[in-house]
Structure 1
């Protein structure tokens, strides 16, 4: 194998006698948008948390641009977490804080303790935060409290906060699980544009097969902590999905879908313009 952008080798996480992620091995040679699917408890979130170093691994290795990130400690570990931004299902915003300040919190790892304590941000950072919000279509909400926004708008604020870190990788843990279909589409459109326009790798845990097919260049399926599928959206047939979810012949994709569509698609649907 040649030099990879990201290489995950035999990555494993155990909690007591339970194995959450079992020898996961993935190689990413270029920036792409990757979807990870699987039923609840398959190990998807634990895998992302190990990539970001929010959770320590039990064994294995994560190498990014030739550097072993699983061995990083202290300031180097925090720098990696800035390079590998995390977006969560529940947004993780400060509800009573205004939107632009929430976005500026993406720079806290680069600020002094005193500046962070008193929310002192350079004017250039404030302008950049507003530019990012404008890119995501919510600049007019910059002075509002985060709690005043809809769920879809709050998730875009969380994406803007991640972009303030200027990350090389964006990890999104079920970013649309709590959103209605329209807002889910807006958020996924935003993540796809960030990948295409910025050349950033985006890895998203997804709970719907149609979303994985529509937005991702590559789909990884997990079952009982193991990777059981790694292929293109076109290869994600109903039979493959049945295996990923450990389901029998009665499996229906509608149970995991946000839209009505054919089960065995031979071509990917064109993304709806933002």
Structure 2
């Protein structure tokens, strides 16, 4: 499905992504890990065409998306939805309207100007919110929701695009452990139930191991690890992060080990 060949991005004399190369033969949930500045976000932005590559190729289903221009590029950005760490919602707009923004690329300029949506799209947006456990908040302003709820609204907006690929750039970095797990569980369900490829930049090893089928480690712009969660040992992690023997995974863990808290998460997914 996806082939990345020598993908490179330079900003002046700085190389943010250095000849990244890998292939994905079927829809997977992939976690990309590495310290800040490793090139994770730049890679996702190139894939979504928010940033142009300096060189290399990125083929999806045999088509080089880096060569797309105009309407074809916009169509690819609909097929390749992006979720950001800071949600990128319109705070004073109601939740369902924020979700409906996922259809903007498919609508006329006049309809967009007057904020007019087909009834079928409105019903679909509410159905997606219900799937994510937040339909009860559809009429509220986005700014009235918690961080975890806002991120689920952002996921719902991405699903309104009906994408083939969902890219998530540090989707849980600003969330507490409980909301982080709710969001990651939502992304995992979307991957499993819809058969969509999900590629997420993550900052904790336990999250990558728990939710991803495959983990890619980046260091100084290069891919230094590409394997299964089981192969992501503490020793491998030290190499990815350039850390010494003092490296401890516990310092960045988002896992909730308390069974009572775990049950609260399950209830929250149903009722929140």
Structures share a fold, TM > 0.5?
Answer: yes
Q: Do the aligned partners of 2:177 and 2:256 also contact (CA within 8 Å) in 1?
A: no
1:152 is matched with which residue? Answer: 148
1:191 maps to 2:187: yes
Q: Do the aligned partners of 1:254 and 1:260 also contact (CA within 8 Å) in 2?
A: no
In the aligned structure 2, how far is the partner of 1:116 from the partner of 1:163?
19
In the aligned structure 1, how far is the partner of 2:144 from the partner of 2:100?
18
Compute the RMSD of aligned alpha carbons: 1.1
2:206 is matched with which residue? Answer: 210
Deviation sequence 1:98-150 (CA, Å, 0-9, x none): 00000000000000001001111000000000000000000000000000000
In the aligned structure 1, how far is the partner of 2:40 from the partner of 2:190?
22
For 1:1-274, list aligned pairs within 5 A. 5-259=1-255
Name the SS of the counterpart of 2:162 in structure 1: coil
Displacement of 1:259 in angstroms is 3.0
1:268 is matched with which residue? Answer: none
In the aligned structure 2, how far is the partner of 1:132 from the partner of 1:23?
38
In the aligned structure 2, how far is the partner of 1:62 from the partner of 1:203?
14
Q: TM-score, normalised by structure 2?
A: 0.94
Displacement of 1:248 in angstroms is 1.0
Deviation sequence 1:215-261 (CA, Å, 0-9, x none): 00000000000000000000000000000000111111123212378
Q: Do the aligned partners of 2:80 and 2:166 also contact (CA within 8 Å) in 1?
A: yes
Q: Do the aligned partners of 1:108 and 1:116 also contact (CA within 8 Å) in 2?
A: yes
Deviation sequence 1:32-69 (CA, Å, 0-9, x none): 10000000000000000000000000000110001110
In the aligned structure 2, how far is the partner of 1:101 from the partner of 1:180?
26
In the aligned structure 1, how far is the partner of 2:99 from the partner of 2:65?
26
2:262 is matched with which residue? Answer: none
Q: Which runs of 5+ in 2 are unaligned?
A: 258-264
Q: TM-score, normalised by structure 1?
A: 0.93
May I ask how many residue pairs the two structures share in their alignment? 260
In the aligned structure 1, how far is the partner of 2:153 from the partner of 2:170?
16
Q: Do the aligned partners of 1:129 and 1:160 also contact (CA within 8 Å) in 2?
A: yes
Q: Which runs of 5+ in 1 are unaligned?
A: 262-271
Over 4 Å off, 4+ runs: none
